[in-house]
Amino acid sequence: MDFLDPQKKRAHHRRLIIGYILIGLVLVAVTVILVFVAYGFRYDRKTDRIIQNGLVFIDSQPSSANYYLNGQLKGQTGDRFNLAEGHYVVSMKRPGYQTWQHTIDLRGGSIERLTYSVLFPKTIAPTNVKSYARAPGFASQSPDNRWLLVQRPQKMTGFDLYDLAADHPKAQTYSLPNNLVNRAAGQHLWRAIEWTANSQRLLASHTVGNRTEYLLLDRRNPVGSLNLTKLLPHTALSAVRLRNHDINQIYFINARNHDLYRFDLGSKALQKMANNVTQYRPYGTNTLVYLPVVPAHKPVLVNIVDNSKLFHLRLLPADDTYELATQDFKGKMVVVASSVNQRKAYVYYNPQVNLRNSATAITVPAAVLDLSRRPNSLSVSPSGRFTAFQAGSEIAVYDLEDDHSYHFTLKLDAANHQPLTWMDGFRFSLAGKNSVAIEDFSGENGYRAKSTVGTASWFNPKHKALYYLGAKAKSAQTSLVQASLLTPADQ
């Protein structure tokens, strides 16, 4: 019998081993092929080479728009598909709406999410929500896009609160207690600084003459609003900011000695954070970015304090004005620093960790933005993905996710060099003398609202309506205007 023959037994074992090896090689080859397929690699018969795909998600508001790649119809939005790496012009079209278009450079193995597009109707019929005898001096929208607070003209502590989640929002009277603010004679100027993350409270400044006070306005209960300046009567409060977008603690600079403090509103504990600070921005719960006070015509060092550890980020050249901005992007800090006369902005991502792990204590910026003239604003989108550097209608934007920069000039006469305002994570508005521009981060898609009074514009939470302050020609009368972003067929 064969199993008793030693030679045949050895041959049988060799065949088994060779079979196992071949099976193993096949499994390895299949695994490698599956891994390469999972990473988007495929064989292109036209070019006779291996190429790598990217994954594209595409959606729009309103939904079910036709989308095109390089002019060819491919399907309807609300789709996902693999696409070979390369340069593409993506456009979306729907009857009654302006064409939306964006150019992408898709990298193999990457994911492109074109899910933020808003198609503007070709014809918009605005309607008045409420009229005011003259232009309101103050308006601010909560970060969830739901609440809009508008100061009533000639009312020192009187506001209108609008719930933009309603199809037809009505003005709700919002009045602060008379003893809460400084009621001295003169022009009263309100300025929004930042909302809390839950959209319930607004940190704002109120200035009369040369005196500025800081208040936390409670959206739900005006009586529960706080005057922070009165809470610290022996401190020259300035440059107030919230810690981690929450009301439990605030940061401020004492204008008398330029020291930076943290104040706990519950325990009333006061803690010095840094000496001789001219400007700062907080991030999270334990991180601060600040510029120290330096003599005129001396360069200034951008410092980061992270969990009590000090890092030096960059030396900015001597200037009369500097700009700082911080924001969160995917759980990591974005820092932007600018020397205004140099007309450059340096964008850093997660720099404190890079500095901590670097043997040379040097970190390289993710991008440098340049402008041709003196800038008037520096900001980061609420999502943290986009940094905008502005000089009037000239705008430079850096996309941190795609590592791509845009530089464009809007066809808009910017009103008194007003700073742009981010409306959401992808779009901003910029007021002109007689209109307001709404633009995507790339400057490729936008809308112009006519006859405005030089203020920002606001979306409702679902991006189905636009609001702005519009003035009648040759009249001081101003109205809060609602403009539906849906055609009659889609309403």
* List of residues 6+ apart from 47 with CB closer than 8 A: none
E-strand stretches of 275-366: 277-283, 287-292, 300-306, 309-316, 322-329, 332-339, 344-349
Measured from the Cβ of residue 460, the count of other Cβ atoms closer than 10 Å reads: 23
Q: How much of the chain, in percent, has pLDDT values that exceed 90?
A: 70
151 beta partners:
159
279 beta partners:
291
Q: How far apart are CA 319 and CA 312, in angstroms?
A: 18
68 beta partners:
73, 91
Q: How far apart are CA 141 and CA 148, in angstroms?
A: 4
Q: How much of the chain, in percent, has pLDDT values that exceed 70?
A: 90
Under 8 Å between Cβ of 261 and 300 = no
Fold of the domain built from segment(s) 136-275: Methylamine Dehydrogenase; Chain H (2.130.10)
Which secondary structure element, helix H or strand E, spans residue 58, and what is its range?
A: strand 49-61
3-state secondary structure of 56: strand
Kindly state which CATH superfamily the domain 45-118 is placed in: Carboxypeptidase-like, regulatory domain (2.60.40.1120)
User: What is the spatial order of strands in the sheet that 421-422 belongs to?
Assistant: 421-422, 427-431, 435-440, 446-450
Q: Which long-range contacts (CB under 8 A, 24 or more apart) does 287-295 make?
A: 287/333, 287/352, 288/251, 288/260, 289/313, 289/324, 289/326, 289/335, 289/337, 290/260, 290/324, 291/316, 291/322, 291/324, 293/258
What is the model's pTM? 0.88
Q: How far apart are CA 415 and CA 447, in angstroms?
A: 17
Residue 163 has pLDDT above 70, yes or no: yes
Domain boundaries, the chain: 2-38, 45-118, 136-275
Per-residue model confidence as pLDDT tens digits over 67-105: 999 999 999 999 999 999 899 999 999 999 999 999 999
Residue 47 has pLDDT above 60, yes or no: no
The pLDDT-based confidence of 296 (bands split at 50, 70, 90) is confident
